[in-house]
Structure 1
């Protein structure tokens, strides 16, 4: 078992013993998503820590989107629950980049792409290809693409 996955199992056991319903249900759902990912496809396999992190990131994103949808639908209590679950998952994710750090990485990538001959809005793909590995897991894709668009337009 990977170290991150075993940490999740240990934390689930602790949450159950402490009768922490929010944390235990969130961790159960996340471990279920990891198990599903491991058995998806033709053969089952053990996920690496990096792959487990991607699953946790995807689950956290689902919580954020659900909270926004509940807010729009006027269901504040459900939105609050989704946000709380997202906060539980955030403790297992790497620290997110600040807007300044992200802007610096994107500016560097834009300069690199322009040096390679990419120009204007068409350079978006080239810049994203450079930025993605540098910010992997530390900045959400929507934030990254918005920053890239802003710098390419300006």
Structure 2
């Protein structure tokens, strides 16, 4: 189980090479490099959860880049980043529906006994592993702040 996502990514590198999809191949290779880099730095083999965290970080970086490129009037670069997000997104787990997310937030609040905004960190600590890669953390945080305010 632990290598399933990594194996899928490696197979997709080969498939993209065969199909001569240069842009897709480039994005997948960037992902492989990020995974390898983290494995070398931490001297571990990443499991699916850790790979999702790497994906999450890469997608967030690209979203930041898109807003900067758009602000600078470089739509060509913003479009390239958008296409990279699409490729990276294909490896993410199924996104949570709004009702699933609400249920997880409610459960985390009751589990932590949170009563005010001061308890935000405690609740996020419980929520993050459950929603990592399945929901935008900034949306989760905003929703949580509304509930605890």
Q: Label 1:76 to 1:151 Cα distance change in 2 as closer, same or farther (>3 A).
A: same
1:34-54: CA deviations, max 9, x gaps? 11111114xx33222222222
In 1, the alpha carbon distance for the partners of 2:72 and 2:116 equals: 39
Q: Is the 8 A contact 2:52 2:132 kept in 1?
A: no
Match of 2:134 among 111, 135, 138: 138
**TM-score normalised by the chain length of structure 2:** 0.88
In 2, the alpha carbon distance for the partners of 1:109 and 1:151 equals: 12
Q: What residue in structure 1 maps to residue 34 of structure 2?
A: 33
Q: 1:139 deviation in Å? A: 1.3
Q: Could you list the runs of 5+ residues in structure 2 that have no partner in the other structure?
A: none
Runs of 4+ in 1 over 3 A off after TM superposition: none
**TM-score normalised by the chain length of structure 1:** 0.85
Q: Label 1:131 to 1:45 Cα distance change in 2 as closer, same or farther (>3 A).
A: closer
Q: What residue in structure 1 maps to residue 99 of structure 2?
A: 100
1:121 counterpart = 2:117:
yes
Q: Label 1:47 to 1:130 Cα distance change in 2 as closer, same or farther (>3 A).
A: closer
Q: What residue in structure 2 maps to residue 66 of structure 1?
A: 65
Q: What residue in structure 2 maps to residue 48 of structure 1?
A: 47
Q: 1:20 deviation in Å? A: 0.7
In 1, the alpha carbon distance for the partners of 2:90 and 2:17 equals: 18
1:54-111: CA deviations, max 9, x gaps? 2122112211221121111111111011011000011100111123322232133334
Give RMSD over aligned pairs: 1.9
Which structure has the bigger radius of gyration? 1
How many residues align structurally? 148
